[in-house]
Structure 1
Amino acid sequence: MNSYYVTLWLLLASIPANAIQSSGIIDDALFEIVSESVSGARAKEDVKQIIQNHRVQATKGYSNAAKYIKEELKAAGVTNVKTHKYKSNGKKRYNAYTSPMSWTVKSGILNMIEPYEMNLADYTAVPTSLTTLSNGGSWEGELIDVGSGLKDEDYEDINVEGKIVFAYGYAGTVHRQAVIKRKALGVVIRPSDSDRVAMRDAVRYNGLWPKWDERKKVGFGFQLSRANSEELMNLLDSGEKIIVNAEVDAKLHSGELVIISAVIKGRQKDSGQFVLIAHLDHYKPGANDNASGSAAILEIARTLNKLISSGTIERPRRSIRFLWVPEHFGTMAYLTKDRDELEGAICGINLDMVGENTKLTDTRLDVILTPASAATFFNDLIVEVVKEVKRKEPSSSKGSDNLFEYDLKKFRLGSDHDMLNDPLIGIPTVALGYWADRYHHTNEDSYDKIDATTLKRNMIIGAYSALWIANAGDEEADKLTILTFAKARERIIQLGLEGSLSLKINDSQEKIKHLTDRIDLQTEVDNNALISIRKLRSGESSMEDMYRVALDELGKSEKTLMLSRIGKASSKDHRIVTGSTARIPKRKFIGPVSDSYADIWFSEHLGEDYKWYSEVKISNLDLIRYETVNFMNGKRNISQIHKLVSAELGRYDVKITEIIIDNLSKLGLIEWVKLK
C-alpha cells in the first residue's frame, strides 16, 4: 500500500462520528417546509374514507379504495397517474407467486341453533368474522373440536365429513385439511389460548385462499371472538352437542389485481427516481394496516405536487414515484409485467402501519433497514432523517403530543419491501411500521387508533427523504460519502470489538472463521453502499474509491487485532463443503419465494420434501432462504453463498443452504451454471 493511501486511511480514520452534524446532511429550511406542509389531519381523513371498504385483493372493495386514491390525486393536480390491472384467479402465476381468486360477498351469518339459539358471527356487522374467499351457500351441521386443525394428527379417530370443524389454527390451512381433504362443510376459527387473551371481543382476520381448481370444493369459514368461543368450548366440555347454521351470500371468480401508480416527474430526464410504496388492501377496517400507509403516501404526493406547482420548492432533479398495491401479490404482478416503470429507481420507502396512536397500541416505530444483499447509502441517510424528526418532534394540531419513539431494526420480511430489495429489482427499500400492534389483523384495528401526529411524523420522513434523494447532486454525494464512511467505520469496529471479547484460545476454527467472515461481509456491504452513492453524481469521482480503500484497511486491521488476542496471525478457511464449491446456481425468478397459507404452490409441488421445512430446527429459516436467493447471482457457488448468509444471519450448517437451493432446482426455479 503506497504512502498516499496510508495517509488517506489515517486521515479518514480520524473522522469523528459526529462529523455528520457539520456536513449538513439535513437542510433545515427544506425540512421545515416539509414539516409545515404535510397534514396529519388530512391524511387521517383519507384513512377514514379508505376504511369504508373491505379491501380484499382483487375485489370490488379494493377497487373502490383504488378509485378514491386516483380521484384524490386528480383533485390535487397530480397528472401522471396510471391504473394497472393484472389477471388474478388462483391459478395465474407471476414469478414465484400465485395470484388469489377474486370474491364478491354480500353477507354471511353464523348462528348456533342447538342446544340454544345464539348469533355467533355476522359479516355485515364485523367483516373480519367471515373468512375471506368463503364460498356462497347454506350449511347446517354439528360443530366438532379438532384442536389446531392444522395437522393430520388432529383428525385421528375423528370423522369430520358432513360436519363443521372448530379449531384455533389459521383458517386457510384448517379448511384445506378439513374441507378439501376430509369433506367437512366448513370451519369455525377460535383464538388460541395465547392469542391476545385480554381482547375478548376482538375478531381476527383469516382467509381460505383456495386455488382455482379447488373452487368447487370450497366451503365457508368464520372467525369468532374469544367471548363467543369460550361459550362454545364450555358447552363442548360439558358434553353438549352443538349444531350451527351458516348462511353466506358470496361468489368466487376470476378478477384483477389493481395498482395505482403516480409520478411527480423530475426536471432531468433519465436521472433516476425515488419510490414510495404502500399496500392498499386489507380487511375492513384495517385502519393502521394499511389505510395509514396508503393515506400517508397520498398526502405526500399532494403536498409535494403543491409545493412544486406553487414554486415554493424547485422541481427536483429526479422523479418521485408512488405505488398503491395489493400487498405481495400485486407488487409481484407489477414487477413481472411493468418492471420497466421503475427503471433508474435509486431506493425507496415502504410505509406499512404508520398512523398509530402509540398510547393505545403500545408500539414504537420500527425502521427496518435493507438486508446485506441490498447494500445502500440510504440506510444511513434515513436514520439521520428519523433522528431529526425525533429531535424536533413535530405534531399535528388535530393529533396527540405523544413522544416519537423508534428502533432501528435489521431487515425482516413481511411486506412489499421484500420484493424491491431483491437485487434483480435493485431498489434498496427501507420499511417504516409500528410493531407489535395488539390490534393487528383484527376488527379492532380501527379509526380510533389513528393519530394525526404519528401520520405527520412518518410523512415527514417519507417526503423529506424523497426530496433529498430527488434533489441530490455532487455536493450532496460528497456529504453522503462522509456520513456513510463514518457510520461504516463504527459498524466494522463494533464487529471487531464483539469478536475480540467473545474469542477464546481454544475456540474452534469454524467460530474464528465466522467472526472474520462477519467483518469481511460488513466491509463488503459498506463498500457497496459507498458505490451506490455514484447514482447521485453527475460525473466521475474518485471520492468513494478512496474511502473504500480506507474501509478495506480498517477491516483488515480489525481482523488482525481480533486474532492477535488468541495468538492467531491469519484465518484460513478449513471448512469442508463437499460439492458446494463446484455448484453455481442461477435463478430464473424474481424473489422471494412465495410460501405461506395464502399460496401453497411451493409446498404442494415439493411434496414430501417440504416436510423438511417444519422439521429443521432453525429460527430464521425464512430469512436464510430469502438471502440465499438474493445472493444467488449466477457467479457465486453454494459455499460462497452460504458464507455470506451465515455471516449476516448467524452460523448454520452448509447443508441447509444446499437443501434450499436443491429444492428450488427441483421446482425449475434455478438452473446450474456450467463451469468452463
Structure 2
Amino acid sequence: MSKKIIFLLVLTITFFSCKQNNEITSQEYFNIVNQELTGDLAYETTAFIEKYWRVVGNTGFNKSVYRIAEQLEKDGYVLEENATKNDVLTYRIETRPLERPTWESVDATVTINGEEQPLLSHDTNRNMIALNSYSTDEEGDTAEVVYIEDIKKLAETDVKGKIVFAETHPGRIFKTAVTDGGAIGIITYNNPSYLQPEKNTTSIQFRSIPLDSVSKAWGIVMSFEAKERLKSSLSKGKTTLNVKVETKIYPSEELTIVADIKGSENPSERLVFSAHIQEPGANDNASGVGATLEMASVAAKLFKDGRFKPKRTLTFLWGDEIVSTRRYVQEDSIRVKGIKWGISLDMVGEDTEKTGGTFLIEKMPDPSAIWTRGNDKHTEWGGRPLKVEDMTPHYLNDFVIKKFKEQGRRANWEVNTNPYEGGSDHVPFLRGNIPGVLFWHFTDQFYHTDNDRIDKMSKTTLKNVATGALVSAIELVSSDENTAKQVLQSIQQAAINRLEEEQKQSQIAIENGEGLETQIEIIKTWKDWYVRAASTTNDMVKDTNLIKADIEATQKAISAKAKRVLEALETI
C-alpha cells in the first residue's frame, strides 16, 4: 500500500471520527439537510390532510393522526409500548375521552325561494356551515329572513320561527336570536378586510356557534358574493330561504401523537416542535403538520446514518391547537423541567405570490412588543402592547433568526419577523417559562377561508421552513460550550445592531417632539434584555464556568454600546 493511499485512509478515518463526535459544522448541516429534505413528504402529507374539515376527535383529525403514525413507522420509530431501552426512535398515540362530542360537516345548501341557483353550496363552500351546527331534516328548513342591521335591536325584534341575517360573528347573536328569540337558525357575514372579500368574493371564513343540544339549531356563514345576493333579494321585498344542513355530532376521543429521538447524554432535556392538526385549511394547518413530519423523517434518517447524534431529546408533537401543547407542558412536573425550547409551526407552506403573505418568525416577547417602530411591525392579526415585566430575554430569538436568514440567502427566500402576538402553540411554552417562537405566514388573504386549499401551497416554502427549523433544532439539541460561545458572539452583534437602530428611531422621535425620558427607557430596556439574554446561554453547558468569561465579556460590550447611545441622545 503506497504512502499516499495510507495518508488518504488516515485522513478519511479522522474525518469520519470527527463527524462521529458531533463536530459537523452549521454550514455542513445546512448542506446535508438541504440535500435530504426535499419538501415532497411535507407536501404529500399536507395534500392528504387538507381534504378533511378537521376538529379534534372527528374523522379527518383521526385519519391525520394515523397517517402520521404510519409514516413514523416507515422511518423507524417504534411504538413506545413495543420499544426496548435501546430504541432511540419512539412514538406514542395518547388517547383521552372528549368531554364534549366532536363535530363534522357533511353537506349543505341554501337556496333563495324562487331561484334555481343555490345561494351557497357545501360542494364549493365547505366553510358555510358554522361549527357545532345541527342537521335539518331532509327537506330542510324554509323560513323568512329577517335582516338585523343594528344587532343592538335584535332582542326587541320578533324573530321566532324565522332566519336571522346579520353582518357579525354568528356566535355573537346566537343566544339572542335562537335561544332567547326562537329563530330556527342564523345566517351571517363578517369577512375582515385583509381577506380582500370584494376580490375573493367566494371566500368564507369559518365560524362557530355554541353547541346547543336543546334547540339543535344551525348557523350558516356567507361569502361576500352570497351576502350581496341576499341583500339584493331583501331590497326587493320579503325573502324566504330553504336551508338544508347535514352534520355529524357524536362522542369521540382526543388523539395526540408524540415522537421522540432520545438524546444520548441528557435525554430528559429536549426541544419540542408542535404542530396542530385541527382547522380545515391547507396552510392552516395541514402545512405545519406536513413540515414537522418531514423534519421527523429526515432527522430519523440522519440518526440512522450516524450523521446526527443528539445529546438532548428531539420531540415532535401533533394534536389540538394550544390544548395538546399546554397539556404536554403542564401534566408532567418532571418532564417540563427538561423542556428547554418550544417551537410552533403554524401556516408554514404558503405560495406567497398567491396568498400575499410573507414568512415570519414571531419572536418571544422582547421590547419590540412594547415599542413597535422602525422595521418592527405587527401583522393584521395584531398584538396587545406588552409591559417590561412581560419580557422574556433569551438567545432563541436571534439564534433562529440567524439560521433562517442563512437558509434565506441560500434559497433566495424572504424571511421576516414580527413582535410577539400570541394565538398559537408557542403560547403554552412561554406561559410555562419555556423559550418559544412561532414560524408562520401573514397576512394571508385566504386565512381561515375555504379557499385555503392545496393550490395555495408551495413545496419550496415547505422545504425552506422545515430546513431552517431542523438545522436550528439539530444545533440546539447538540449544543455545548462551543455552540454557546458562537451564540454569544451572535447576541453581541445583534444587540449592537439593535441599539444602533433604536438610536436612529429615538433621534427621529426626539426631533418629532417626543420626550427624552421615554427614549432613555427604550434604550435601557433593550440593553437589559440583551444582557439577560446573554446569560441564558448557560443552558447549553454542564459547567457554567466554561463560558462565564465569555458571557461577562458579551454583557460588558453590550452595556458599553448602550452607554454610548445614551450619551449621544442626551446631546440632542
Q: TM-score per shorter chain, which class?
A: 0.7 to 0.9
Aligned counterpart in structure 1 of residue 404 of structure 2, from 371, 386, 399 = 386
- 1:435-461 CA-partner distances (Å, limit 9, x unpaired): 111111111111111211111111111
Q: Report what 1:145 is aligned to.
A: 147
Query: Does 2:320 correspond to 1:326?
Result: yes
Q: 1:517 to 1:86 in 2, by over 3 A?
A: farther
Query: Does 2:344 correspond to 1:346?
Result: no
Q: Which amino acid aligns with 1:267?
A: S
Q: Distance in 1 between the 2:120 and 2:496 partners?
A: 57
Q: Report what 2:218 is aligned to.
A: 220
Q: Secondary structure at the match of 1:267?
A: coil
- 1:259-302 CA-partner distances (Å, limit 9, x unpaired): 2111111111346211211111112xx11111011000000000
Q: 1:298 to 1:342 in 2, by over 3 A?
A: farther
Q: 1:501 to 1:137 in 2, by over 3 A?
A: closer
Q: Which amino acid aligns with 1:48?
A: A
Q: Secondary structure at the match of 2:145?
A: strand
Is the CA contact (8 Å cut-off) linking 1:417 and 1:431 kept in structure 2? Answer: yes
Is the CA contact (8 Å cut-off) linking 1:278 and 1:294 kept in structure 2? Answer: yes
- TM normalised by structure 1 equals 0.70
Query: Does 2:364 correspond to 1:370?
Result: yes
Q: 1:146 to 1:341 in 2, by over 3 A?
A: farther
Is the CA contact (8 Å cut-off) linking 1:83 and 1:260 kept in structure 2? Answer: yes
Q: CA deviation at 1:254?
A: 5.2
Query: Does 2:426 correspond to 1:417?
Result: yes
Q: Report what 1:40 is aligned to.
A: 39
Q: Which amino acid aligns with 1:83?
A: I
Q: Secondary structure at the match of 2:300?
A: helix
Is the CA contact (8 Å cut-off) linking 2:130 and 2:221 kept in structure 1? Answer: yes
Q: Secondary structure at the match of 1:503?
A: helix
Q: Distance in 2 between the 1:112 and 1:348 partners?
A: 48
Q: CA deviation at 1:548?
A: 1.9
Q: Distance in 2 between the 1:332 and 1:159 partners?
A: 44
Q: Which amino acid aligns with 2:261?
A: I
Q: Which amino acid aligns with 1:386?
A: F
Is the CA contact (8 Å cut-off) linking 2:119 and 2:229 kept in structure 1? Answer: no
Q: Report what 1:446 is aligned to.
A: 453
- TM normalised by structure 2 equals 0.82
Q: Report what 1:20 is aligned to.
A: none
Q: Distance in 1 between the 2:333 and 2:210 partners?
A: 26
Q: Distance in 2 between the 1:257 and 1:375 partners?
A: 35
- 1:392-450 CA-partner distances (Å, limit 9, x unpaired): 11xxxxxxxxx52222222222211122122xx12222211121111111111111112
Q: How does 1:149-188 map to 2 (within 5 A)?
A: 151=151, 153-155=152-154, 157-188=156-187
Q: How does 1:172-321 map to 2 (within 5 A)?
A: 172-192=171-191, 194=193, 195-210=196-211, 214-239=212-237, 241-252=238-249, 255-270=252-267, 272-283=269-280, 286-311=281-306, 313-321=307-315
Q: 1:109 to 1:535 in 2, by over 3 A?
A: same
Is the CA contact (8 Å cut-off) linking 2:191 and 2:205 kept in structure 1? Answer: no
Q: CA deviation at 1:134?
A: 0.7
Is the CA contact (8 Å cut-off) linking 2:276 and 2:318 kept in structure 1? Answer: yes
Q: Which amino acid aligns with 1:452?
A: K
Taking only the aligned residue pairs, the percentage that are identical comes to: 24
Q: Report what 1:642 is aligned to.
A: none
Q: Report what 2:94 is aligned to.
A: 84
Is the CA contact (8 Å cut-off) linking 1:60 and 1:104 kept in structure 2? Answer: no
Q: Distance in 2 between the 1:193 and 1:310 partners?
A: 49
Is the CA contact (8 Å cut-off) linking 2:360 and 2:439 kept in structure 1? Answer: yes
- Tell me whether 56-65 or 43-52 shows the greater mean CA deviation: 56-65
Q: Distance in 2 between the 1:450 and 1:502 partners?
A: 41
- Tell me whether 384-393 or 157-166 shows the greater mean CA deviation: 157-166
Q: Report what 2:72 is aligned to.
A: 73
Q: How does 1:522-541 map to 2 (within 5 A)?
A: 522-541=526-545
Q: Distance in 2 between the 1:338 and 1:185 partners?
A: 46
Is the CA contact (8 Å cut-off) linking 1:276 and 1:462 kept in structure 2? Answer: no
Q: Secondary structure at the match of 1:107?
A: strand
Q: Distance in 2 between the 1:28 and 1:144 partners?
A: 64
Q: How does 1:483-632 map to 2 (within 5 A)?
A: 483-503=490-510, 511-541=515-545, 542=548, 543-565=550-572
Q: Which amino acid aligns with 2:53?
A: H
Q: Distance in 2 between the 1:333 and 1:215 partners?
A: 28
Q: CA deviation at 1:143?
A: 1.3
Q: CA deviation at 1:106?
A: 5.8
Q: Secondary structure at the match of 1:414?
A: coil
- 1:222-242 CA-partner distances (Å, limit 9, x unpaired): 223333332221110111x22
